[in-house]
């Protein structure tokens, strides 16, 4: 078994070396002749896998991407060639959901959005939208779901109309990028939609930049009564519109899903797919590679403040990850396409909520303790 893997897959050598001869390659360096006699190709979204790249692949059995998206894979070509393919769908869902929770926590803290009274419109109820809905459910924050394809498939959850979404206090986008079909998502947030939004609303995009018509967005943000907008993704990455950046409330360089857990889970899922291909029982697990959980301390004064029941959980969530830090670093460091890519590549260590344990909870706080546990915190 010969495996070629993109070096940006975290701990790929540790995972794959037990399965055969595993050799890494740097992003952008893979050539067609490098795939001669290769059985498995493992990539991230930075490597486009198409007929040209695979022109010399004489025994390729599996193409695996350690990312949720598959736009970089020519899946139709792979299927015609009888080559299996897989994605790590859902690997970064929790990280993106916690990114949105951090945005909401800051909006609540700054009184941009009053979460106790707000309704969150979740556009796209797949892995990420479902993970976000679960967090909001635990916190008692109202939300609605919009996903016509899932609704048509018989998904039993309650879905609302687009007109209902446009009335929500917060609209957060979690759809795949599609350019054709009855429910194409390219520029789904267009001029008409943007003109229906007001300064009382918050729009968040942490899926794909192309789902928003950026020229229309820039024009809307330069007008009066514009909504607050948070973008983690942009059209034309990494060569983004710098003028648009200055008009956003919060902005980050496509890092919403970049938690340690999310990245490692991508490699784990690729490893398990290779094991399945070869009939080997997986021996390595995510817990083998994750660092110890750091401790967080909950200030009990927050628990005694009856004016804001969300304060304890949101304060802890923001201590795990505060999006404003990434926003500040992005704005200070962003000078062009190269720095956008460099910031993504050099993104620091970020743990998810489940990667933390909490102390300081008195036995008299069972309701708050139960809520924190449901969010994923480990309680000491």
143 with 60, same domain: the answer is no
Question: 319 and 360: one domain?
Answer: yes
Averaged pLDDT in 10-residue chunks for the chain of 380 residues: 95 95 95 98 95 97 94 95 96 97 96 96 98 97 98 97 98 94 94 97 97 97 94 95 96 95 95 96 93 82 71 91 97 93 89 90 75 90
Verify that 111 and 244 share a domain, yes or no. yes
Residues 38, 100, single domain; the answer is: no
Of the three residues 288, 303, 333, the one that is the final residue of a domain is 288
Q: Is the dihedral of CA 108, 114, 115, 120 positive or negative?
A: negative
The four Cα atoms 91, 96, 97, 101 give a dihedral, to 10 degrees, of 150
Predicted structure pTM score: 0.92
Q: How far is CA 355 from CA 94, 139, 313, in A?
A: 12, 19, 15
Question: Which residues, 6 or more positions from 312, have their beta carbon under 8 angstroms from its beta carbon?
Answer: 298, 302, 303, 368, 371, 372
The angle subtended at Cα 167 by Cα 245 and Cα 114, nearest 5°, is 70
Hey, which residues are catalytic here? 208, 237, 254
- Total number of domains constituting the chain: 3
Residues constituting the chain:
380
Domain boundary among 224, 251, 278: 251
Cβ–Cβ contacts within 10 Å for residue 194, how many?
A: 21
Q: Residue 178 sits in a domain of what CATH number?
A: 3.40.50.720
Residue 285: exposed, middle, or buried by beta-carbon count in 10 A (0-12, 13-18, 19+)?
Answer: exposed
Cβ within 8 Å of residue 104, ≥6 positions away: 113, 115, 120, 141, 170, 314
Give pLDDT, residue 379. Answer: 87
**Are 143 and 247 part of one and the same domain?**
yes
Residues 181, 203 share a domain: yes
Its domain, for residue 358, covers 295-379
Question: Which of 282, 254, 235, 250 has its CA nearest to residue 340?
Answer: 254
- Model pLDDT, residue 306: 63
Asked if 168 and 135 touch (Cβ cutoff 8 Å), the reply is: no
């Amino acid at each position: 078994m010969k495996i070629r893997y993109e070096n940006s897959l975290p701990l790929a050598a540790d995972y794959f070396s037990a399965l055969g001869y595993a050799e890494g390659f740097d992003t952008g360096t893979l050539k067609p002749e490098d795939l001669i006699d290769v059985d498995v190709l493992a990539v991230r979204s930075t490597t486009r896998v198409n007929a040209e790249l695979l022109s010399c692949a004489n025994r390729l059995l599996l193409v695996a991407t350690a990312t949720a998206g598959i736009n970089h894979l020519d899946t139709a070509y792979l299927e015609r060639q009888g080559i299996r393919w897989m994605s790590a769908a859902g690997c970064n869902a929790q990280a993106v959901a916690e990114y949105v929770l951090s945005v909401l926590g800051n909006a609540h803290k700054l009184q941009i959005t009053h979460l106790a009274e707000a309704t969150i419109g979740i556009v796209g109820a797949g892995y990420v939208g479902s993970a976000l809905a679960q967090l909001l459910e635990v916190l008692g924050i109202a939300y609605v779901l919009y996903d016509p394809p899932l609704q048509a498939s018989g998904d039993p959850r309650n879905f609302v109309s687009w007109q209902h979404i446009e009335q929500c206090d917060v609209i957060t986008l979690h759809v795949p990028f599609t350019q054709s079909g009855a429910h194409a998502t390219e520029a789904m947030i267009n001029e008409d939609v943007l003109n229906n939004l007001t300064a009382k609303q918050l729009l968040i995009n942490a899926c794909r930049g192309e789902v928003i018509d950026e020229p229309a967005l820039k024009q809307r943000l330069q007008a009066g009564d514009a909504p607050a907008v948070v973008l983690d993704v942009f059209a034309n990455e990494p060569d983004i519109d710098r003028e648009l950046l200055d008009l956003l409330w919060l902005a980050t360089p496509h890092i919403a899903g970049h938690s340690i857990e999310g990245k490692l889970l991508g490699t784990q899922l690729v490893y398990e797919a290779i094991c399945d291909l070869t009939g080997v029982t997986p021996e390595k697990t995510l817990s083998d590679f994750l660092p110890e959980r750091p401790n967080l301390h909950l200030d009990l004064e927050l628990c005694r403040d009856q004016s804001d029941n969300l304060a304890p959980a949101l304060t802890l969530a923001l201590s795990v990850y505060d999006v404003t830090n990434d926003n500040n670093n992005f704005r200070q460091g962003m000078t062009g396409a190269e720095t956008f890519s460099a910031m993504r590549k050099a993104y620091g260590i970020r743990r998810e909520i489940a990667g933390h344990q909490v102390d300081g909870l008195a036995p008299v706080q069972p309701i708050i303790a139960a809520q924190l546990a449901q969010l994923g915190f480990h309680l000491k």
